[in-house]
Amino acid sequence: MIARASQLGIARCRVCGQIEDMAAVARCSRCGRRLRLPNPRTSAERSLAWLIAAVILYIPANVLPVMYVSGIGGGAESTIYGGILEFWRSGSLGLALLIFGASVAVPITKFVALGLLITTTLLNSSGAPAQRARLYRFVEFIGYWSMLDVVVVALTCRLVRFGSLAVAEPRPGIVFFCAVVIVTMISAFSFDERSIWAARSHP
């Protein structure tokens, strides 16, 4: 049986990577950071809490309008879903797909992937750790693209200001959407990648 570092009381500093013996020191001898043994349950639980918060926030983000565009002939508020439909109907398939990808596909993929990772960790599953690790890296990767919607709305509202001709204004939905992205990032960050491999020691 291969002993794990945690079993030996050896911890790695999360800041500078120094390997320390937890029995000897409580803080990193190099950078002074408090040392902690990885705790799969705690990290998964924290990650789960953030994930649930993100899923809850995702509902108002989609139900509330994200942007109000007024032009000649009146104004209209649009939700993310409504915006995608509008672009799709007006023939801008590329734009519709892009917005769909950034605001529907990416967050939901993240929810599902994180949920899977957290559940398996909490269940102490030892199956397919390599794939789960890859999944985690994938979640980190697509996280970059989640803020696309927020950036689009921010840019549009800043650029489209032509008085009574055309005005775009943000609406509360975009704040929730922004919160979803941030909370999901925190959730992913709270998840300790090492806990994927922790279950090995408890066959």
| 13 vs 57, beta carbon nearer another protein | 57
Nearest distance, CB of residue 181 and another protein, angstroms: 14
Residue of 63, 85, 67 lying closest to 76 (CA atoms): 67
Out of 23, 94, 141, 159, which residue is the one contacting another protein (CB under 8 A)?
A: 23
Out of 33, 45, 68, 194, which residue is the one contacting another protein (CB under 8 A)?
A: 45
The footprint of another protein on residues 76-95 (CB under 8 A) is: 76
The footprint of another protein on residues 148-187 (CB under 8 A) is: 183
What tokens were used for 194? 């090492």
Please state, in angstroms and rounded to a whole number, the distance separating the CA atoms of residues 119 and 147: 26
Using DSSP's 3-state secondary structure scheme, residue 98 falls into helix
Out of 64, 85, 97, 113, which residue is the one contacting another protein (CB under 8 A)?
A: 64
Please state, in angstroms and rounded to a whole number, the distance separating the CA atoms of residues 198 and 26: 22
| 37: contact with another protein by CB under 8 A | yes
7: amino acid identity, one letter: Q
Please state, in angstroms and rounded to a whole number, the distance separating the CA atoms of residues 187 and 118: 10
| 135 vs 183, beta carbon nearer another protein | 183
| 57: contact with another protein by CB under 8 A | yes
